[in-house]
Structure 1
């Protein structure tokens, strides 16, 4: 069973919960279904309910301020949708745009997902030295989007609630 995106009463994404938890929220009238799977149902002895993909809490929940998203390999790969920013094939490594040996920092705006071949070819050189360029600069994802993008199986129906545009080669929006 996949997860369900939970939105605050203001439609701000909060977290992803197991489908079972989302159904409990709906049955307890703490949440309402925003989007459901058209052809998937959960059955009980007396009823059937569509599998919720996105639910919205009926009451607003105050969320503590989230500072920064920790920079991890998994988070960078999720931000870039596991695609190499240089050649668009499946990425399995992380590359520093400005190599650390050349003074580059280990921060969101300097780290991108790359396939092993491109990462090896680039080595410790600058992009200008080898004639490469980035389609768009890397950005730090918002804390909420990063939380949801780290979920193992992201449902495409979540994208409009996350401000996530798959046309941007997997880079998440930086505004929260």
Structure 2
């Protein structure tokens, strides 16, 4: 987590989201949250918060039983590296190529570097003689927060 973001916890200490420091200060002014952990830096009358906890519990029905939106940016954030060589991920590769009916889904897409993506081309990893370093799957809610 970077210094520009503050983790917001529910009243039950479950992680909800990350917000900017500016938004966090507004939450403190409105008294909808309290500081759980802060940095040594001052921001007016407040210390710059790292973690906030909401004063009242927020029901999160929308996170349960619903799959997260699968986008290329989310795939790269999930994998953090090339699924074939472990290098810097620049693109997204479809394990089953789109030309063969593969879709952009959590189970069929992996992050890849340009070199590996071009090498695999319009083939499956087995046909290209390449192995996956990770098994693509839908991330849990906490992995995306």
Q: TM-score, normalised by structure 1?
A: 0.69
Structure 2 residue ranges without an equivalent (≥5): none
Partner of 1:123: 121
> Which 4+ stretches in 1 moved above 6 angstroms?
none
Give 1:46-125 correspondences, 5 Å limit.
47=45, 49-66=46-63, 67-81=66-80, 83-125=81-123
Q: Report the counterpart of residue 11 of structure 2 in structure 1.
A: 9
- Deviation (angstroms), 1:138: 1.1
For structure 1, list consecutive stretches of 5 or more residues without a partner in the other structure. Answer: 149-176
Structure 2 counterpart of 1:163? none
Q: Is the 8 A contact 1:94 1:112 kept in 2?
A: yes
Q: Deviations over 1:120-150 (max 9, x none)?
A: 001122222233222221111234643x3xx
Q: Cα offset for 1:104?
A: 2.6
CA distance in 2 between partners of 1:28 and 1:105 (Å): 45
Tell me the distance in 2 between the aligned counterparts of 1:79 and 1:7: 22
- How many residues align? The count is 141
Q: Retained in 1: the 8 A contact 2:85–2:133?
A: no
Shift of 1:19: 0.9
Q: Is the 8 A contact 2:86 2:133 kept in 1?
A: no
- Aligned-residue RMSD, C-alpha: 2.1
